[in-house]
Structure 1
């Protein structure tokens, strides 16, 4: 069976550094930090008092009040980003065969704020189990793609992938394969997360996973820096329209790039720590290149997982050197989490969008906040430090890894 070609025809982004794909891109290339003191709750007793929240997002700008109350923020973010991507792709919803349009979404946690609030309400009551009737449908992770499909009438495959921080990259790989195998013409894919809550921040603090650089939050996310002390939690959503190539051509769609391939692997090592030798990461990048029919020397740019944790950054860069050899020095490597923070299940989607726009514009966004060399990192690697760099990007890879050892990798290339 000959696999169908898959392209990207629409993008949508809702991020801590921009509420549309264009604003997001401007934030990226200008080196804008999305980190600031938390505004959602009183942080006095918390170790970490900052995060990368969305700015100026008002749900009622997009939903009526009754509709907004029925949706957790992570689902609201999903619908808003998906709507932008659908509009960007110029999909004619009156003409497209909706039985062949799927929604495959990623979320690492789902409706955490809803879950938190309902449990707190119960704990503060008299023991009577009075819960909001929308508690469960607001909380479950698969409700985000459900809301997208309900709004637009998409009747193809509809589900959520959950693989921690690799969730939306997993979703994109599933979407790629659905179209390759002929099951769909179009898939709305991506991910969303809204975990900047007392439970989310408290839980990650208990794991010692978050930066505690409270005196300078805007510089706290510092991937590859010798003084990094943990990641910065972010929130938002990214959406991509993946489409069968001939279908896109037939309707005259703008094509951003081709989705060349993807790969998955597991560290099979630890609940939260990466394998120190990057064995699973080596495997996933090799799998991705093989799946795409590409050679290591074809890759121009890698948007790394690069969370700003002491162990993870080093392991990933060692893996890149192992897979790409001497060519690793010719690749523009970056971590856009230095600007957006870590969007957990949405990370793969917004970072894939960054990689795609780097190809379109010939500019690789920077890894900001780098001040101190880490002696464990090869100094000859080009980590695109502090300033965006112009270069032609024909092939771009995006790495995303999750707690539990879940690894996902997607690679994009300019359309032939």
Structure 2
């Protein structure tokens, strides 16, 4: 069977450092942190008092108040970024067959704010089960792609992938495979999350997963730094339009890049901790290179999972050194989570977008907030510290890993027209 080629024709982003693609990119290359004190609730009794919130989001740009009341914030974010990506791709009812356009979306948690609100309300009702009739359809993780589908009339495959923080990367992998196998022409893919809530922050805090650097939130996410003390929770959404190459050419679409390959693996090790030697991460990157038909020395850039946790950062870099050998020092490695925080199920999408834009503009966004070298990290690795670096990027990989040992990687490459 001849596999069809898949390209990226549209991008959309709603992040803690920018509410559209251009704002997001400008903040990335300028090393802007999205971390600040939490405004959503009173943090007086909370151990961690900051996060990377989306700022100045106006849902009325995308929907009326009645519709917004029926949508959890994670679904509102999904609509915002997908609207931008669809417009960017130039998709109209006239240039597509809606039955061959799908929506495959990632969300690690889904409507956590809705769940929290309904349970807290129930607790005030003396055991009387008074629940909002929209409670379930607002909360369930699959509802974001459902709304994107209904909003646009897309009648192809429509579902959500849930693999914790690897969710939106798994969504992109599924989208890639559906198109290259000939089952769809276009898929809107990506992911969203809105877990900056009392329950979300409290749950991660109880696991000792979050940074507690309350005196300096903007520097708290510091991947690869010796003083890192946990991740910073972020929120938002990233959307990408994956499209079959000949279909994109036929309708005159602009093309950002080609999706070159993908990989998945499992650590099969621990509920929340990575394998200390990065065994599953080694496997996922090797699987990706094999799927893409590429050798390690062809890779120019890796956007790491890089969460700013003591164990995860070291394990991932060990895996990169193992897979890429002496070429590892020639790769621009970075972690954009140093700026956006960790978007959980939406992380893979916004980081894939960062990788694609790095390829487009020839600039690698920095890993900010690095102050103290970690002696356990190979000093020859180029971690793109603190300042963006110019370089030609022909091949970029984006890594995402999730609780449960889920590993996913997507490889993008400049379009080869031959």
TM-score band by shorter chain is over 0.9
Matched residue, 2:140: 140
Residues 1-400 of structure 1: matches in 2 within 5 Å?
A: 1-400=1-400
Q: TM-score, normalised by structure 2?
A: 0.99
1:210 counterpart SS class: coil
User: Which sections of structure 2, spanning at least 5 residues, go unmatched?
Assistant: none
Report the alpha carbon displacement of residue 94 of structure 1 after superposing the two structures with TM: 3.1
2:368 counterpart SS class: coil
Residues 48-77 of structure 1: CA deviation (Å, up to 9, x unaligned): 000000010022232101000000000000
Distance 1:349 1:261 in 2: 15
Report the alpha carbon displacement of residue 338 of structure 1 after superposing the two structures with TM: 0.1
Residues 355-383 of structure 1: CA deviation (Å, up to 9, x unaligned): 00000000000000000000000000000
Distance 2:118 2:165 in 1: 25
Q: Is the 8 A contact 2:62 2:79 kept in 1?
A: no
Distance 1:309 1:37 in 2: 20
Distance 2:287 2:374 in 1: 29
User: Which sections of structure 1, spanning at least 5 residues, go unmatched?
Assistant: none
Residues 230-277 of structure 1: CA deviation (Å, up to 9, x unaligned): 000000000000000000000111000000010000000000000001
2:333 counterpart SS class: strand
1:367 counterpart SS class: coil
Distance 2:410 2:324 in 1: 16
Distance 1:264 1:131 in 2: 39
Residues 113-167 of structure 1: CA deviation (Å, up to 9, x unaligned): 0000000000111211010000000000000000000000000000000000000
1:13 counterpart SS class: strand
Q: Which aligned runs of 4 or more in structure 1 are off by greater than 2 angstroms?
A: none
Distance 1:156 1:40 in 2: 37
2:396 counterpart SS class: strand
1:76 counterpart SS class: helix
Distance 2:180 2:61 in 1: 37
Distance 1:32 1:95 in 2: 38
Q: Is the 8 A contact 2:95 2:251 kept in 1?
A: no
Report the alpha carbon displacement of residue 289 of structure 1 after superposing the two structures with TM: 0.4
Report the alpha carbon displacement of residue 95 of structure 1 after superposing the two structures with TM: 3.3
2:277 counterpart SS class: coil
Matched residue, 1:410: 410
1:96 counterpart SS class: coil
Distance 1:373 1:302 in 2: 20
2:241 counterpart SS class: strand
Q: Is the 8 A contact 2:9 2:255 kept in 1?
A: yes
Report the alpha carbon displacement of residue 206 of structure 1 after superposing the two structures with TM: 0.2
Distance 1:312 1:89 in 2: 35
RMSD after superposition: 0.4
Residues 74-125 of structure 1: CA deviation (Å, up to 9, x unaligned): 0000011000000000012233100000000000000000000000000111
2:210 counterpart SS class: coil
Distance 1:91 1:375 in 2: 50
Q: TM-score, normalised by structure 1?
A: 1.00
1:233 counterpart SS class: coil
Distance 1:218 1:27 in 2: 13
Distance 1:61 1:19 in 2: 12
